Amino acid sequence: MVDLNEVYKSVLEADKAAVVICDLDHTIIYMNPTAINRYEKWGGKSLIGQSLLNCHNDKSREMIIKVLDWFKASKDNNIVYTSYNEKENKDVYMVALRSESGELIAYYEKHEYRNRETMKMYNMD
């Protein structure tokens, strides 16, 4: 039988977008390889165990806390559009992570790039 935890982790590890997961105290508990590389000049893997709030300015910290409070307010509050990065042509969201019962257990930032894929379709050379 396949270990679903391994499957879930593999999905995150293979993602080309940075994935940083935080607990409800804003502690970074996971970074996928893309995130570790992306944030290397700020510490990369050493950011795990640190507060995400320390990586942001006052206005961003205020908004992160506000979004987390909104996630806590209702099981239906699960995703918020937070910004558009023009340089990278991407939308950025904060996403609630919930247990099967709907309890808020963590959150992460989701990056959705708008650029068309440049890889050739089904190129396996």
Tens-place pLDDT, residues 63-79: 999 999 999 999 999 99
The helix or strand, by DSSP H or E, that contains position 31, with its residue range, turns out to be strand 28-31
Q: Which CATH architecture has domain 4-113?
A: 2-Layer Sandwich (3.30)
Provide the whole-model pTM.
0.89
pLDDT, residue 66, reads 97
Q: What are phi and psi of 55, to 5 degrees?
A: -95, 5
Residues ≥6 apart with Cβ < 8 Å to 68: 24, 26, 107
Lowest mean pLDDT among 18-27, 56-65, 93-102, 107-116: 107-116
